[in-house]
Amino acid sequence: MNDSSTSGELAAGLRELLVRLAPGDRLPSSRELIQQYRVGPATVARAIALLAAEGSVVTRPGSGTYVARRAGTEKGAVDTAWQTVALTDRAVDTHLIAEPRLPPPAGTITMDGGYIHRSLQPTRGLGAALARAARRPDAWDRATANGLPALRAVFARIAGGGVTPDDVLVTAGGQSALSIAFRAIAGPGSPVLVESPSYPGALAAARAAGLRPVPVPLDTDGVRPDLLAEALAMTGARLLYCQPTFHNPTGTVLAPERRRQVLDVARASGAFVIEDDFARHLGHGGPVPRPLVADDGDGTVVHVTSLTKPVAPSLRIGALIARGPVMERMRAVRMVDDFFIARPLQEAALELLSSPSWDRHVRALGADLRQRCAWLTAALSLELPAATVTSAPAGGLHLWLRLPPGVDDTALTAAARQRGVAVSAGSRYFATEPPAAHLRLGFAATAGHAELEEGARRLGAALREVEAGR
């Protein structure tokens, strides 16, 4: 074939070649076709474009031209191997937060959840709030990027201190708020200090943002300021993620004297503190400490809160509270992500928080959670006497159970699931190697007393099975 050959003639020759190749095989490169058929680059490009238009080949920029899947082959047998190259190495690790591939067997007692049982949710009030919100003339108008002013004012009032509505950014729940904050504050490859143990969702969000979690141990009074100062100095980190109130998973509350120390240490290092205040409305009836942001006078704290935990899983409304350029950065990230949060959901949240029934719900929920916590603690002491509840939490949804020496938490989790009780392996809550084996046990997602006792009984049987197999 000479230089006067048409692209149609070249395409015909390549069709003969395609017959001898299998779907997914790579065609010779453009340079090889130019040399083999003695044509110009434009002729080759037009011939390949003709074959691609008729579906005979697929082109992958930077990789080459490949034989397309032929008509009549098994539906769904798409060759996506090329995507491995195109996606490079930016994988998002969700193993810490992903749900099991298979649903739990019927009758499984749920003690691994992070939401309250349907019987504890204010479903009637929430339904009424959503109905009232939907009837507003402007309910389906575009919301402002920062969130409804009235809703921001409510979040500012709950935070207290000198927080104003202008310091509040409404988000699609707490997880979204964490993702925004991590991406806005620190660049890929940067260290972020986290309590050890810590919330798996935060670890996943930090890693998805390209950050490197560095653990800082905590004790019964919360994160240790001395080790925090040492970690900031050693790593050069400019970000700490912590849960000062009813910490997940341990239930720890940061001691009053340490609250000021943590802020002082962070300020001296020029670091931000992301305060995850997810459990603000999950106290068990006693006093709930003021959030760190209420006593922050210079913009050190980035406060995260959410309505999802005390209300219902699908009320995906939360807030970020911050002052200064960091808020402008987070607003910009939010704008790029999704422009604004659906107005009807914001209106419903505002209706719910403004209703007289809200305070009644929070008080009733606290009483229920306190009772459930006591039931499960008592059942565990009876069914798993060799395991230890590390502390009696004054708020939150979980107990942190230390297992007997030598017991593997993942093996016990699997054995428990086989016996019809779902629990969380403690190793999921550590950024690095855990110092001991634990389980996180939820007492809020079950139907009530009987299920908590039965769950403890099944877990005790699973523990004995694992110990016998060692």
pLDDT of 181 over the 60 cut: yes
154 with 277, same domain? yes
Domain that holds residue 387: 109-118+359-468
Give the per-residue pLDDT at 74. 52
378 with 402, same domain? yes
End-to-end CA distance of the chain: 74
In Å, what is the CA distance from 220 to each residue of 170, 216, 253, 264? 32, 14, 8, 20
Question: 430: which strand partners?
Answer: none
196 with 308, same domain? yes
pTM: 0.81
Give the per-residue pLDDT at 16. 87
Contact 459, 422 (CB under 8 A): no
Whether residue 103 is contained in a domain is answered as no
Mean pLDDT within 181-191 = 94
342 with 401, same domain? no
- Domain CATH code at residue 442: 3.90.1150.10
Question: 214: which strand partners?
Answer: 193
- What is the CB neighbour count within 10 angstroms for residue 346? 22
394 with 432, same domain? yes
141 with 29, same domain? no
Q: Any idea which residue has 């395991």 for tokens? A: 387
* Final residue before a domain boundary, out of 355, 382, 410: 355
- Comparing 21-35, 38-52, 99-113, 131-145, the range with the smallest average pLDDT is 99-113
347 with 377, same domain? no
Whether residue 100 is contained in a domain is answered as no
- Dig out the tokens for 432 from the structure: 């690095």
79 with 193, same domain? no
367 with 345, same domain? no
Give the per-residue pLDDT at 139. 84
- Domain CATH code at residue 32: 1.10.10.10
Give the per-residue pLDDT at 1. 46
Helix axes 409-418, 449-468, angle to 10 degrees: 120
Whether residue 96 is contained in a domain is answered as no
pLDDT of 73 over the 80 cut: no
Per-residue model confidence as pLDDT tens digits over 266-303: 999 999 999 999 999 999 998 999 999 999 989 999 99
Q: Structurally, how many domains does the chain consist of?
A: 3
Whether residue 342 is contained in a domain is answered as yes
- Domain CATH code at residue 330: 3.40.640.10
Whether residue 95 is contained in a domain is answered as no
- Dig out the tokens for 390 from the structure: 């590390």
Per-residue model confidence as pLDDT tens digits over 110-149: 999 899 999 999 999 999 999 999 888 888 888 889 999 9
**Greater model confidence, 341 or 5:** 341
Give the per-residue pLDDT at 2. 47
| % pLDDT > 70, the chain | 92
Burial (Cβ within 10 Å: 0-12, 13-18, ≥19) of residue 48: buried
- Comparing 59-68, 169-178, 403-412, the range with the smallest average pLDDT is 59-68
159 with 144, same domain? yes
**Greater model confidence, 85 or 437:** 437
